[in-house]
Amino acid sequence: MKDELELFMDYPSNIATMLLNDEVDIGLMPVATIPSLKENYIISNYCIGCNGDVASVCVFSNAPLKEIKTILLDYQSRTSVALLKVLIKDYWKISPQLIEAAPGFEEKIDGTTAALIIGDRALALRKKYKFVYDLGGAWKQMTKLPFVFAAWVANKKLPDSFIDQFNKTTSEGLNHFDEIIATTECDYYDLDYYYHFNISYTLDAQKKKGLEYFLSKME
């Protein structure tokens, strides 16, 4: 399988741009950008999702939710931003100003200014601010459905034989979390819990239902 692929690693939003520009054929694509593709095919039985608190996609604030006036938006994830917009409109029913942020925006959280932060930075900052609003947990509370942040998407039809082998290879990778955790230094969050419980990888019927509902709610 490795002989058929050239692997690139980048931020989710950049991967989406590469797919849109036809620079790559397959990507672990933020689901909010899937409708932007002229052609899109979810080719894998696996994804990056959650069925409750995800821990790494949160709004951080020193003010309660109803008092937040501004939310700075993480530049690394389009899907998390789209999910936030759905939640503030349909679940939290608040109307803060949303501002696209640049690197270093985390330091601007103060007073009624909050921030949407994703990834390792979100895990590291969980104890720094008074309030942490987990977007995965909020989605689950609102819809009773799991959430899909990213899925393996192709921008063209691929042979069934390739897709079958891709699924087998992806499945094999999920058996090596303990090795990944053992080689990763992290003193701010339990990575074993994160990989085994916060993140959910199987793109099952409930996740597909949640994904379809999310795409229908996007502005």
DSSP 108-121: G-BTTEEEEEEHHH
List the one residue out of 47, 61, 77 whose CA is nearest residue 152. 47
In a shared domain, residues 139 and 169: no
In a shared domain, residues 185 and 199: yes
How many CA atoms does the CB half-sphere of 21 hold within 13 Å?
7
In a shared domain, residues 92 and 48: no
> Which residues face 152 on adjacent strands?
28
Nearest 5 degrees, angle CA 198-CA 204-CA 205? 125
Domains in the chain, number:
2
Q: What is the pLDDT of residue 16?
A: 81
Token pair, residue 196, equals 């085994």
In a shared domain, residues 193 and 85: no
Q: What is the pLDDT of residue 123?
A: 96
Q: What is the pLDDT of residue 172?
A: 83
Where is the domain boundary, 79, 111, 143? 143
Token pair, residue 85, equals 């917009």
Q: What is the pLDDT of residue 4?
A: 62
Q: How far is CA 41 from the centre of its chain?
A: 19
Structural domain including 193 reads 2-52+145-217
List the one residue out of 115, 82, 77, 121 whose CA is nearest residue 96. 115
In a shared domain, residues 149 and 46: yes
In 10 A of CB 157, how many CB atoms?
A: 10
List the one residue out of 29, 88, 50, 45 whose CA is nearest residue 210. 50
pLDDT mean values, one per 10 residues, the chain (219 residues):
65 80 89 91 95 98 97 91 97 97 93 96 94 98 97 93 90 82 88 94 97 92
Where is the domain boundary, 143, 163, 188? 143
In a shared domain, residues 75 and 133: yes
In a shared domain, residues 11 and 39: yes
In a shared domain, residues 137 and 182: no
CATH of the domain at 109: 3.40.190.10
Dist. CA 174–CA 179, nearest whole Å: 11
In a shared domain, residues 28 and 71: no
69-79 CB burial, b ≥16 within 10 A, e <16: ebbbbbebbbb
In a shared domain, residues 8 and 37: yes
Where is the domain boundary, 143, 168, 184? 143
In a shared domain, residues 26 and 94: no
